[in-house]
Amino acid sequence: MTITITAFEQSPDGGKGLARDTRIRWALEEVSQPYEVRLVSFRAMKEPAHLALHPFGQIPTYQEGDLVLFETGAIVFHIAQRHAGLLPADANARARAITWMFAALNTVEPPILELATARLLEADKPWYQERLPLVADRVRCRLKQLSAHLGGADWIDGAFSAGDLLMVSVLLRLRSSGILDEYPNLAAYVARGEARPAYKRAFTAQLAVNTAKSPTG
């Protein structure tokens, strides 16, 4: 059955791979599943046809026959459950990998998103310079803990898993802030993720969309 995902017609990041369709593309590449991509504009995302797939009018979505999913974490989990390669066979190791998926999205990503939002939308506010270090320190708090847990390991709990896929994806959003480089083992962890052939294919595919010349020039 054909898998179809949605992605930005033109990502605001210009192809840095930070929009969440990259996470889905990466998961599908890891498990060698072909997929099609339907590109949607910001306007189309809020129209009934897309809202029928995604109640919050966002990307990514995932369609496979009658199945329609939204929420990146749920989609990656679905892919990992259906196809070998992203979750360990051992029941306890699998439960731990799933725990790391949640940790990436629920514990590590929120302060990172808060920082990204502050830098993007609050830089003109009179309190920005005072607030920014507070927000950045909340990110550092999580990175310090994650760094201590990872230590010198390649991946967060044994072999590469969907937990790593989501954690690396979440940490990638920090690159432009410079904070990631304060934690060399985490910077190396992210680099290992980016070096995976499946990530490279996913990144290249989204880049092609975002550098393609628009029909209007």
- Interaction site with ligand GTB (CB under 6 A): 11-13, 18-20, 45, 57-59, 71-72
- Choice between 13 and 64, CB closer to ligand GTB: 13
Residues 67 and 64: their CA atoms lie apart, in Å, by 5
Q: How far is the CB of 210 from ligand GTB (least distance, A)?
A: 10
- Choice between 18 and 115, CB closer to ligand GTB: 18
Q: How far is the CB of 62 from ligand GTB (least distance, A)?
A: 10
Tokens 């930070």 belong to which residue? Answer: 18
DSSP state of 176: G
Give the C-alpha distances (Å, rounded to integers) separating 64 from 5, 72, 82: 9, 15, 12
- Choice between 29 and 109, CB closer to ligand GTB: 109
Q: How far is the CB of 14 from ligand GTB (least distance, A)?
A: 8
- Choice between 57 and 88, CB closer to ligand GTB: 57
Which pairing describes strands 61-64 and 67-70: parallel, antiparallel, or unpaired? antiparallel
The closest of 217, 170, 144 to 17, measured between CA atoms, is 170
- Choice between 62 and 189, CB closer to ligand GTB: 62
Q: How far is the CB of 167 from ligand GTB (least distance, A)?
A: 14
CB crowding 55-65: b at 16 or more within 10 Å, else e: eebbbbbbbbe
**C-beta nearest to ligand GTB: residue:** 58
Long-range CB contacts for residues 124-127, cutoff 8 Å, separation at least 24: none
Tokens 């989501």 belong to which residue? Answer: 166
Q: How far is the CB of 74 from ligand GTB (least distance, A)?
A: 8
Q: How far is the CB of 81 from ligand GTB (least distance, A)?
A: 17
Give the full edge-to-edge strand order of the sheet including 36-40. 36-40, 3-8, 61-64, 67-70
- Choice between 150 and 190, CB closer to ligand GTB: 190
